[in-house]
């Protein structure tokens, strides 16, 4: 459950600083939105997926639905509300780093009732993926509805904002990046050396397992059973857009497939690295076969 956006991607030599104007090199449109990206990532990684969310009554909305359908995502729970679909304006530098501004559009009309209805209609659901590009009331209600049905909750806390202990206590898997971990824990910054302390603070707030995404440095896994750092994979990075979404979707698919949490994270870590070698959001998501071949080649 989450956002569905059209990504408008501008590529340039670097990301401009405030007040600066630079010349871009290209403008492209890609289907995106953190919820939709994660749904596509999970489907391509071998998982059965249904998308819960909203698009507008416009050309972007029709294109976004078609992209999900093509990826094998069930869209019967994707509602049409409002006149405008969500849009993300993305600047991508030559280094592959990005800067993103999201205009929610129809995503702002998603409610917790959408999740209640969807979960009632999907009795075999095992994991609910959530992000923060839809109203926080919808996220909280959806997580609570999932827990009442013994469905595991995976939350990608982006865009970063303060979260209640009530919500965090319903989360089985939390996947913050370093900036999000800093905001959620009150730490001034979170680097590789600080990640264990940030993870401890989040576990103390009721999260089942914390996966701190460390970019090229990989991911830190933390739970009541201990901590482990999985290193990143050395790849030729082209575009980091949606790498975190790829990790979340691949992780969900791996867990549903019956992999252990540790192996599921290793699988997702490899998938996310592979996604950065391609341009775009949903277009960058690797298939199950591609991920397994990449893991075999990199021993990851």
The crossing angle, in degrees rounded to 10, of helices 261-275 and 243-256 is 150
Residue ranges of alpha helices (H) inside 107-218 are 112-121, 136-148, 165-168, 178-185, 195-204
CA neighbor of 159 nearest in space, from 103, 118, 110, 198: 103
CB within 8 Å of 113: residues ≥ 6 apart: 141
Q: Tell me the whole-structure pTM to 2 decimals.
A: 0.92
CB atoms within 10 A of CB 224: 7
Bridge partners (DSSP) listed for residue 50: 74
Give residue-wise pLDDT tens across range 70-85: 999 999 999 999 889 9
Domains in the chain, CATH or no CATH each? 5-298 (3.40.1190.20)
- Distance, in Å, from the CA atom of 288 to the CA atom of 254, rounded to the nearest integer, reads 10
Compute the radius of gyration of the chain from its Cα atoms.
Answer: 18
Question: Is 245 among the catalytic positions?
Answer: yes
Which residue in 172, 245, 263, 289 is the catalytic one? Answer: 245
Contact 163, 283 (CB under 8 A): no
4-50 confidence digits (pLDDT tens): 999 898 999 999 999 999 999 999 998 999 999 999 999 999 999 99
């Amino acid at each position: 459950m989450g956002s569905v956006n059209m990504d408008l991607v501008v590529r340039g030599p670097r990301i401009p600083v405030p007040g600066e104007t630079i010349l871009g090199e290209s403008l492209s449109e890609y289907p995106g939105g953190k919820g939709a990206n994660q749904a596509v990532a999970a489907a391509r990684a071998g998982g059965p997926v249904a998308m819960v969310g909203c698009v507008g009554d416009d050309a972007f909305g029709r294109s976004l639905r078609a992209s999900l359908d093509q990826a094998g995502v069930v869209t019967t729970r994707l509602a049409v509300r409002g006149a405008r679909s969500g849009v993300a304006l993305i600047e991508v530098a030559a280094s592959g780093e990005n800067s993103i501004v999201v205009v929610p559009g129809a995503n702002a009309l998603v409610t917790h009732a959408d999740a209640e209805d969807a979960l009632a209609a999907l009795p075999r659901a095992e994991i609910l993926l959530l992000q923060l590009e839809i109203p926080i009331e919808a996220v909280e209600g959806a997580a609570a509805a999932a827990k009442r049905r013994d469905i595991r909750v995976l939350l990608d806390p982006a865009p970063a904002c303060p979260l209640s202990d009530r919500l965090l206590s319903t989360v089985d898997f939390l996947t913050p990046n370093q900036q999000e971990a800093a905001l959620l824990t009150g730490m001034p910054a979170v680097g590789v050396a600080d990640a264990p302390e940030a993870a401890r603070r989040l576990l103390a707030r009721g999260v089942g397992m914390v996966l701190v995404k460390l970019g090229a440095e990989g991911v830190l896994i933390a739970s009541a059973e201990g901590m482990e750092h999985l290193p990143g994979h050395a790849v030729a990075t082209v575009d980091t857009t949606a790498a975190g979404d790829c990790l979340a979707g691949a992780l969900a698919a791996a867990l549903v497939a019956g992999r252990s949490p540790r192996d599921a994270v290793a699988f997702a870590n490899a998938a996310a690295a592979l996604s950065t070698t391609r341009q775009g959001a949903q277009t960058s998501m690797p298939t199950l076969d591609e991920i397994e071949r990449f893991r075999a080649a990199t021993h990851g």
